[in-house]
Amino acid sequence: MTQPHPIAQFKRWLKRSSRKLRTKPGRIAQIVLSLGAALLIFLLGHLPVFGEQQATITVDFAAPQAGVSSMSGFLYGIGNTKPPDSVIKPLQPALWRTSRLQHYSRVQKLGGVFQLLVSDTYGYGTKNPWPYEDYAKWEAHVRQLAQQQKGKNILWDIWNEPDIKDPFWKGSRDQLFETYKRAYQVLRQELGPDVMIGGPSIAKYDRGYLKAFLDYCKKNNLEVNVLTWHELNDQKITAISSHIQEARREFQQNPDYSSLKIQKLYVNEIVGPTAQYRPAENLGYLYYTEQGKADGACKACWEPVGGGKNNCFNESLDGLVVPETSEPRAVWWLYQTYADGFKTRVQSAISTSRVVALASQSNSAQQPQVIFGYFEQGVAAPQAKVTLILKNLQRLPGFQPDKPLTLTVKQIPDSGEKVVKSLPTVKQEQVTVTNQAIRLTIPNVTLHEAYVLTVG
């Protein structure tokens, strides 16, 4: 049942009280006091939040987190040589979504899975008619593409964001499904039963749309080896993991859809326009996509703040580095730190959904690491007081019981498009580990920023 808006509730209470005031003059003082109290409660409950958010992060370094895939992935973002491999390799990209087949060898060399965006190779009602206007031309395009790419390890992503009418799809939903069917049949004919084909790559998680698409594919004896959608709403980051879990439960693991052979769930675009440079928001996307156990994700790209070519196409790695010079921005450091600790991920628990943390037994410097941040979703205080509880450090390889440990916290600043050559240290202290957990409090974690704790 929908609850009345608080303002409407207050107005109704005020109206009832006014009637009582007119009929029972002896209650004037009581009514006035009640009005004041009600107004105060209303204002306290609906004014913006000021002050400080409280949060606790508990890390167990003796509890490896299994079954997690890396969410380090990119959408376009590169040229033939820029950014240089030395800038990309530390990010350990696991997935790359693009239509630029000339970059296939480079993506393979960097270790990423190549997801080909077929609709971008065809066009959106400009150089070619819409597929539903000339299915023969659409099929011929897909066939030629498949014949040219035989022998390559490619995931075939048929169409981009068909739920957005402008500019990506002018036809009906059924016409999109027919477009998928015709591409699927051609790819099976040309590339055989093992090629991975997927969709629908809608712009947001929409269970109804996904179900309609999968029902159509089931009815028409098609497969959807890779089920895909995008998560780009910067005010709904925390919902991502539940979306992935629902899609796995309702579709991938549902016997009713077993004929579709859904092997992968990809959120093949994450991070919306307001969050594109914000370290904590990017960490939030990585955290909730990883917690949902998606099989991969790609960072979306948007317009630069100062104008110019879109971050997909200016060789900026989706905005992580400065175009032309390839110097790192704060979000590059966020992705680098994320990748640096991915292979030894351990369990971490958070007390509030907007302060997230990913912990690792060891990074490339062989140090235990925790990356954490405080992101905005709805009304948020400007700072958070974060307490980290570090458990079982003494059980890590190489631990020496009599040797003090140095806890170092570095900041990944919310600095937009500015170059960040290194991360500043904001806190450092020495501790001696006993069998008890170590507690470290950071009193002024700033909204939108991320932090890296290392133990050495």
Query: pLDDT category, 205, cuts 50, 70, 90?
Result: very high
Higher pLDDT pick, 18 / 69: 69
pLDDT tier for residue 436 given thresholds of 50, 70 and 90: confident
**Phi first, then psi: what are they for 366, rounded to 5°?**
60, 35
**Per-residue pLDDT for 114 more than 80?**
yes
**Mean pLDDT to the nearest integer, 134-139:** 98
Cα distances from 292 to residues 28, 69, 251, 297, 298, in angstroms, run: 57, 10, 15, 12, 15
Q: Is the pLDDT of residue 243 over 60?
A: yes
For 24-76, the pLDDT digits (tens) are 334 333 433 343 444 333 333 333 345 679 999 999 999 999 999 999 999 99
73-341, what's its fold?
TIM Barrel (3.20.20)
Q: What is the average pLDDT across 201-211?
A: 98
At 51 the pLDDT is: 65
Structural contact between residues 386 and 374, judged by C-beta atoms closer than 8 angstroms? yes
- Predicted local confidence at residue 102, as pLDDT: 98
Average the pLDDT over 185-197 and give the result: 98
| Residue 126: predicted pLDDT | 86
What global pTM score does this model have?
Answer: 0.89
Q: Is the pLDDT of residue 269 over 50?
A: yes
How large is the average pLDDT for residues 8-16? 39
Q: Measured between alpha carbons, how far is 198 from 252 in angstroms, rounded to an integer?
A: 13
**pLDDT at 303 exceeding the cut of 70:** yes
Please state which of the four CATH numbers 3.20.20.70, 3.90.850.10, 2.60.40.1180, 1.10.357.10 is assigned to the domain occupying 52-65+344-455: 2.60.40.1180
Identify any residues that bridge with 74 across adjacent strands, giving them in sequence order.
96, 299
Q: Where are the domains of the chain?
A: 1-33, 52-65+344-455, 73-341
- Structure confidence at residue 39 (pLDDT): 39
pLDDT at 435: 74
Instruction: Please write the tens of the pLDDT for every residue from 307-362.
Output: 999 999 999 999 999 999 999 999 999 999 999 999 999 999 999 999 999 999 99
Return the pLDDT at 112.
96
- The mean pLDDT of 356-383, rounded to a whole number, is 96
Mean pLDDT, the chain, rounded, equals 90
Quick check: do 52-65+344-455 and 73-341 share a fold?
Answer: no
pLDDT band at residue 306, thresholds of 50, 70 and 90? confident
Provide mean pLDDT across the span 295-312. 96
| Residue 17 predicted with pLDDT over 80 | no
